[in-house]
Amino acid sequence: MSDESRLARSLVSEIHEVSAKIGRQVRLMEVCGTHTVELRKQGIQSLLPPLVTLVSGPGCPVCVTPSGYIDNAINLVTEGRADVATFGDLMKVPGASGRTLSSLTGSGRVKLVYSPHELVEIAKGRGHPVVFLAVGFETTVPTIVSALLEAREQGVHNLFLYTAFKTVPPALRFLLGNPSHGLDGFILPGHVSIIIGSDAYAFLEGIRPGVITGFEGMDMLVGILELLRQIQRGERRVQNAYPRAVKSGGNARAVELIERTLEPRTEMWRGLGPIPGAALGLKAWLSESDAEKTLGIPPAVDREPPGCLCSRVIAGMSTPPECALFGKRCTPDDPVGPCMVSSEGTCAAYFRYGSSR
Amino acid sequence: MCLATPMKIEKIVDARRAVVSEGNVQVEIDVSLLKDPQPGDHVIVHAGYAIETLTLADAEERLELFRKLAELSGEAGSA
């Protein structure tokens, strides 16, 4: 047996021991959608003792974007006001109207991008407004504003951002305000934390245990073990179990870039409603690059498809199998709600990798 | 969407761009969010941007770190 498998085994057995010592059911929320996928894909969930329940959190950016945002984006194209550029995840999400951006790909006016740095050349090549659907958490935010500034520096002024940026710490605070979740601890997002740093979770100290966790199998086992140990000892601390990437102050350049270009706003989170200060919008000095202001985009309404439990799943209040549509009318090939569309959506992860322990 | 991949810097192109590799794959990415990126650095790449320089890229060192983080002794799990 390799060193690595030996270590994994001892971590799993330690997790079982500590769970037995705690002697009651504990609910741990993995905040990040990438963790939702990796915990199931790598089979970590199936190795956990029955007393440990993993609850998926709101960390799938596409899933928490209101359905009306999609309709607004579609209208930009169909009304001929702008071309739209987007990450692939958003293409198949139905708007409140049931329409999707992917239905417009034939028009040549919806451009799929893998990296925001492509935006500069895309905008240069088109004589009319190009609106980027700026959806993402702190990990993605600096990459998008960096591309916007690069475009402006090069004199490219037909690139606009339609921002739906979301931030994790205010969302966690909001979840803690609803004690009916019964959450015992948080598996904190590794890549968001690279940007914002471990200090950004200081508000958890004394309230709930939180462990910043990486994405390898071993990272996730260590993260879960450390959370259980804190619970057993009655501690409520923030620990950094991903120190090879995450610093206490985060990525200083990225933080400076965010603070220079964006400011906190209160916007709608699908499933959770408006969360105070949990969104980021462009500062006034960039308002001419702000699609909402320049192109007069109306506020995004949030309306759920009938029967879809995505909003409860996002809030950690329901699991996908509790939804009557799950795996029947709603599958990754023919999704009803965003939790099934996004590759990081909880429903998609349960569908692909199974919901059994 | 917060998926990110560790890659190694092969060549600095200019203040903004660098060529990175993972296995046999080489791509050009943006490194402007890093302070002083150097060839040989292991970086974590998200959406075509390096977002941090990784320490302990070596597998053995990493295992040792996991042992330390989990407060397991060196022989733990050797049974």
d(CA A67, CA A95): 5
Cβ of A189 within 8 Å of Cβ of B2? The answer is yes
A23 dihedral zone (left: phi>0; alpha: psi -120 to 50; beta): left
Residue B19 at interface with chain A, using a CB cutoff of 8 Å: no
Give me the domains of chain A, ranges plus CATH numbers.
67-167+250-294 (3.40.50.11740)
pLDDT of residue A341: 86
Suggest the residue from A5, A6, A7, A256 to mutate for an interface test with chain B (most B CBs closer than 10 A).
A7
Please tell me the predicted confidence (pLDDT) of residue B75.
43
Which of B51, B70, B78 is closest, CB to CB, to A6? B78
At A323 the three-state DSSP class reads coil
**Residue type (1 letter), A217:** G
Amino acid A68: pLDDT? 93
Spatial CB neighbours of A343, under 8 Å, sequence gap ≥ 6: A37, A89
The most confident of the ranges A200-214, B43-57, B61-75 is A200-214
Q: Of the candidates A4, A222, A244, which has its C-beta nearest B70's C-beta?
A: A222
Interchain CB contact of A222 with B (< 8 Å):
yes
- Topology of domain B5-69 in CATH is SH3 type barrels. (2.30.30)
Domain regions of chain B by residue span = 5-69
* Closest CB from A115, A192, A219 relative to B48: A115
Tens-digit pLDDT string for chain A (357 aa): 788 888 999 999 999 999 999 999 999 999 999 999 999 999 999 999 999 999 999 999 999 999 999 999 999 999 999 999 999 999 988 898 889 999 998 999 999 999 999 999 999 989 899 999 999 999 999 999 999 999 999 999 999 999 999 999 999 999 998 877 789 999 999 999 999 999 999 999 999 999 999 999 999 999 999 999 999 999 999 999 999 999 999 999 999 999 999 999 999 998 888 999 999 999 999 999 999 999 999 999 888 888 999 888 888 888 999 999 999 999 998 888 889 988 889 999 999 998 655
Q: In a 3-state reduction of DSSP, which class is residue A64?
A: coil
Token readout for A290 is 């702000």
C-alpha–C-alpha distance, residues A70 and A270, integer Å: 12
Residue with tokens 């990126």: B37
- Burial of A298 per CB tally in 10 Å (0-12, 13-18, 19+): exposed
Give the pLDDT of residue B45.
96
pLDDT tens digits, B8-32 = 999 999 999 999 999 899 999 999 9
In this prediction, residue B1 carries a pLDDT of: 59
Quick check: B2 and A257 CB within 8 A?
no
**Would you say the ipTM is above 0.95?**
no
Closest residue by Cα to residue B20 from B47, B48, B1: B48
pLDDT above 50 (res B77): no
| Sheet bearing A185-189, strands edge to edge | A52-59, A26-32, A185-189, A210-213, A238-240
Q: What is the pLDDT of residue A355?
A: 62
Residue pair A132/B38 in contact by the 8 Å Cβ criterion = no
Q: B61 CA to chain A: closest CA distance, Å?
A: 11
Cβ–Cβ contact A87 with B under 8 A: yes
Nearest beta carbon to residue B2 from set A34, A116, A254: A34
Q: Hey, CA dihedral for B57, B60, B64, B69, is it positive or negative?
A: positive
A4 in contact with chain B, both atoms CB, cutoff 8 A: yes
Please tell me the predicted confidence (pLDDT) of residue B57. 65
Q: Are A305 and A293 a contacting pair, CB within 8 Å?
A: no
Contact B35 A60 (CB under 8 A): no
Task: Give the residue from chain A lying closest to B16, CA to CA.
Answer: A150
